[in-house]
Amino acid sequence: MSLLHDDQVIIMSGGSTNLVFAKLIPSDLKATIYTYSLPIAMQLSQHPNIDLIFIGGKMQKNAMVTIGMDVIQVVSKIKADICFIGASSINIKQGLTEVGYEVSMVKKAMIEASDKVVSMFSSNKLNTKMPHVVCDLNQLDTIVTNLEPEDIRLEEYRKSGVFIL
């Protein structure tokens, strides 16, 4: 939670790791959070001090996220302090990749709109790849996983210059 501060503007993608993160946001945090994930929006709607903006658009029913140009246009007009991006896959060569083209485009827009980029994912996503590139590792400021930061499986990511929490 060291990445969160009062008065931040935050963008959150969908995914199970980000949903867990949303549940852990301290109740005294005062921030504005944009998300295109319905489960995350539902979770954050219970938070007493979050100004929540749900970004509407075409619903991708299997992931319960909105996608498409409407979402990208809204995200491109945000000036966020930080974004939290879930990852379907990450590897040293391609960076973050996604299974779906439209989700990859929304995540690219999130990165462009944010001063800091944090990718959160479970260790089973490490060293895997999907067909659509989201970003290179050098576009990530921080990686958060369920592994200890010193874990040998994160060595190449550490060497790339990404901070690991």
Domain count, the chain: 1
3 sits in which H/E element: none
Determine the Cα–Cα distance for residues 115 and 117; give it in Å rounded to an integer: 7
Burial status of residue 155 (CB atoms within 10 A of its CB: 0-12, 13-18, 19 or more): exposed
Average pLDDT, integer, range 145-151? 95
In the block, tokens 């996503």 appear at 125
Per the prediction, the chain carries an average pLDDT of 96
Separation of CA 164 from chain center: 15
pLDDT above 90: percentage of residues in the chain: 98
Coil, helix or strand at residue 32:
strand
2 band by pLDDT with thresholds 50, 70 and 90: confident
4 is a domain residue: no
Angle at 73 between CA 101 and CA 100, to 5 degrees: 10
Q: Which domain CATH number covers 157?
A: 3.40.50.10470
Bridge partners (DSSP) of residue 145 are none
pLDDT single digits (tens) 72-113:
999 999 999 999 999 999 999 999 999 999 999 999 999 999
Question: Is 4 within 8 Å of 31 (Cβ atoms)?
Answer: yes
pLDDT single digits (tens) 105-146:
999 999 999 999 999 999 999 999 999 999 999 999 999 999
113 is a domain residue: yes
152 is a domain residue: yes
3 is a domain residue: no
Average pLDDT, integer, range 36-48? 97
Q: Which two tokens stand for residue 26?
A: 């301290």
Determine the Cα–Cα distance for residues 93 and 82; give it in Å rounded to an integer: 24
1 is a domain residue: no
109 is a domain residue: yes
Q: Which domain holds residue 46?
A: 9-164
